[in-house]
């Protein structure tokens, strides 16, 4: 289970013949509604590399959408999975519990910020974690309204879609959506929705959000505010100082459950266990998934004990939720982060991102904004810096130029004009820099 050789190497055209053949079979067997960023099929992955079925080796700056914190074949994860699969793969935790689930709950309860008594429950995905956070908040408060922010992404289930901001592709044609969802502005300093300056965007957007909650919803009707402390799919939007702090204070003052959706930005991605720690927040409830399972499917809801325990027995759970193999993988992934000092690695990747990408704003009029928080970075592309007109086709061109050169990067953003980097935290520095050089070249070519 050694990682594949850590290098970029294209041995066929991309996609190669074997991938093309599999793509044709995929088109005949899988609905086209399931997207495909890259036209290549994976054969092996690990460290900072993905090797396709034709033997092409790609530098992975996408990390399977922020899942591969510890890499795709981390030794501790691989052996924990094998050992647990050999012992038992399933019992259903609600039927016959097992220690791994409890251990993982204990670990997350400790890792969550603040000196707070917490409980954790496990489900199968991020969307399901968000669904359960809302169930807990509604029951514990006896209220129904749920507030989400502009540019938010919370998953593809009925409630996940309703909480998600972007219409296409996530909600288009899939209605009616879940009721009692309200939306407030999110601090987006580059495009402040209330027209404030870069530095004033945080407090100004918080004030606008609070005004909507007071006047259009009523604070005493709001069960929860669900917010990603750093928006992921929305385009790696890092809110201005003061925004989240003000919203958290408003929630605390009004008995509203503050839910930090840490599914993408959490689990070491930004250089802290949870991105809310950058703002000194102690959320009432935290949702996790993506990086949590070291690549295996698992979602978590970690919340204040009095909220989580408000739910009647049987009100929470799922057949596969907190599957023993996924729990073993998650415990091993936590060990990998600790043993490999991956919080520091994420911060170091962030320094490299900043040093290399921030100058692009001066070099290219197509680069509107560069945003970096640990190993989470984005370049927002515009037709011109003056107009800030989002340029989705530029982002598409950068994506395909990188893919053709053997570097995996991802698209993001409400306007599809953001290119996003979420590498595995275990990527080697030389490989990372090589990948960034190709990315920068694609941007300069715009």
- In this complex, which beta carbon is closest to ligand PLP, that of residue 340 or of residue 415? 415
CA distance linking residue 366 with residue 16, whole number of Å: 32
Contacts of 86 (CB under 8 A, 6+ apart): none
Helices marked H in 96-166: 99-111, 126-141, 158-163
- In this complex, which beta carbon is closest to ligand PLP, that of residue 233 or of residue 440? 233
In the complex, the residues that contact ligand PLP under the rule CB under 6 A are: 125-127, 130, 153-155, 228, 232-233, 261, 263-264, 289-290
State in angstroms the smallest separation of the CB of 277 from ligand PLP.
Answer: 16
Q: Is the peptide bond before 119 cis (omega within 30 degrees of 0)?
A: no
- In this complex, which beta carbon is closest to ligand PLP, that of residue 261 or of residue 380? 261
- In this complex, which beta carbon is closest to ligand PLP, that of residue 331 or of residue 422? 422
Tokens coding 423: 């590498």
State in angstroms the smallest separation of the CB of 121 from ligand PLP.
Answer: 15
Specify whether the CB–CB gap between 64 and 20 falls below 8 A.
no
Q: Is 368 exposed, middle or buried (0-12, 13-18, 19+ CB in 10 A)?
A: buried
Q: Name the residue with the smallest CB distance to ligand PLP.
A: 126
State in angstroms the smallest separation of the CB of 261 from ligand PLP.
Answer: 5
CA distance linking residue 146 with residue 152, whole number of Å: 13
- In this complex, which beta carbon is closest to ligand PLP, that of residue 16 or of residue 62? 62
Specify whether the CB–CB gap between 157 and 127 falls below 8 A.
yes
- In this complex, which beta carbon is closest to ligand PLP, that of residue 200 or of residue 416? 416
394-413 CB burial, b ≥16 within 10 A, e <16: bbebbbebbbebbbbbbbbb
Q: Provide the greatest CA pair distance for the chain.
A: 62
State in angstroms the smallest separation of the CB of 153 from ligand PLP.
Answer: 5
State in angstroms the smallest separation of the CB of 155 from ligand PLP.
Answer: 4
- In this complex, which beta carbon is closest to ligand PLP, that of residue 14 or of residue 268? 268
Beta bridge partners of 407: 59
State in angstroms the smallest separation of the CB of 4 from ligand PLP.
Answer: 26
Specify whether the CB–CB gap between 267 and 288 falls below 8 A.
yes
State in angstroms the smallest separation of the CB of 190 from ligand PLP.
Answer: 20
CA distance linking residue 386 with residue 317, whole number of Å: 51
- Look-up: residue for tokens 């990527």? 427
Contacts of 212 (CB under 8 A, 6+ apart): 182, 184, 185
- In this complex, which beta carbon is closest to ligand PLP, that of residue 50 or of residue 130? 130
- In this complex, which beta carbon is closest to ligand PLP, that of residue 14 or of residue 227? 227
Specify whether the CB–CB gap between 139 and 311 falls below 8 A.
yes
For residue 383, the number of C-alpha atoms closer than 13 Å in the C-beta half-sphere is: 7
State in angstroms the smallest separation of the CB of 118 from ligand PLP.
Answer: 20
State in angstroms the smallest separation of the CB of 413 from ligand PLP.
Answer: 13
Q: Are strands 181-184 and 222-227 parallel, antiparallel or unpaired?
A: unpaired
- In this complex, which beta carbon is closest to ligand PLP, that of residue 62 or of residue 232? 232
State in angstroms the smallest separation of the CB of 265 from ligand PLP.
Answer: 7
- In this complex, which beta carbon is closest to ligand PLP, that of residue 52 or of residue 228? 228
CA distance linking residue 290 with residue 424, whole number of Å: 12
Tokens coding 258: 């503050």
State in angstroms the smallest separation of the CB of 232 from ligand PLP.
Answer: 4
Contacts of 368 (CB under 8 A, 6+ apart): 190, 361, 380, 381, 382, 385, 388
């Amino acid at each position: 289970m050694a990682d594949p050789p850590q290098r970029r190497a294209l041995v066929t055209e991309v996609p190669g013949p074997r991938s093309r053949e599999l793509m044709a079979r995929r088109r005949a067997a899988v609905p086209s509604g399931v997207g495909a960023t890259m036209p290549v099929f994976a054969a092996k992955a690990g460290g900072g590399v993905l090797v396709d079925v034709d033997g092409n080796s790609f530098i992975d700056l996408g990390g399977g959408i922020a899942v591969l914190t510890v890499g795709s074949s981390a030794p501790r994860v691989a052996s924990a999975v094998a050992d647990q699969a050999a012992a038992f793969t399933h019992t259903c935790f609600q039927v016959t519990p097992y220690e791994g689930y409890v251990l993982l709950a204990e670990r997350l309860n400790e890792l969550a910020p603040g000196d707070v008594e917490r409980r954790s429950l496990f489900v199968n995905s991020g969307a399901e974690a968000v669904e359960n956070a809302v169930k807990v908040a509604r029951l514990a408060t006896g209220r129904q309204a749920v507030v989400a922010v502009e540019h938010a992404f919370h998953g593809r289930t009925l409630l996940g879609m309703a909480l998600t901001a972007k219409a296409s592709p996530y909600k288009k044609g899939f209605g009616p959506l879940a009721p009692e969802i309200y939306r407030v502005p999110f601090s987006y300093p580059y495009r402040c929705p209330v027209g404030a300056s870069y530095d004033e965007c945080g407090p100004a957007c918080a004030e606008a959000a609070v005004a909507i909650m007071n006047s259009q919803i009523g604070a005493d009707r709001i069960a929860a505010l669900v917010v990603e402390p750093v928006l992921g799919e929305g385009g790696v939007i890092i809110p201005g100082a003061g925004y989240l702090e003000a919203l958290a204070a408003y929630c605390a003052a009004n008995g509203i459950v503050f839910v930090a959706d840490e599914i993408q930005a959490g689990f070491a991605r930004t250089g802290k266990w949870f991105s809310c720690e950058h703002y000194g927040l102690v959320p009432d409830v935290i949702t996790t998934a993506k990086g949590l399972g070291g690549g295996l499917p698992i979602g978590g809801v970690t919340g204040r004990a009095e909220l989580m325990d408000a739910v009647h027995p049987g009100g929470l759970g799922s057949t596969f939720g907190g599957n023993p193999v996924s729990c073993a993988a998650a415990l091993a992934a936590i060990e990998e982060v600790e043993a490999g000092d991956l919080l520091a690695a994420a911060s170091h990747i962030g320094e490299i991102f900043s040093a290399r990408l921030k100058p692009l704003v001066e070099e290219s009029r197509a680069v509107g904004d560069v945003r970096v928080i640990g190993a989470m970075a984005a370049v927002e592309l515009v037709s011109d810096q003056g107009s800030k007109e989002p340029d989705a086709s530029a982002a598409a061109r950068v994506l395909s130029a990188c893919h053709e050169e053997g570097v995996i990067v991802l698209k993001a953003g409400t306007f599809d004009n953001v290119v996003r980097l979420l590498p595995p935290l275990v990527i080697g520095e030389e490989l990372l820099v090589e990948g960034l050089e190709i990315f920068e070249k694609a941007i300069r070519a715009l």
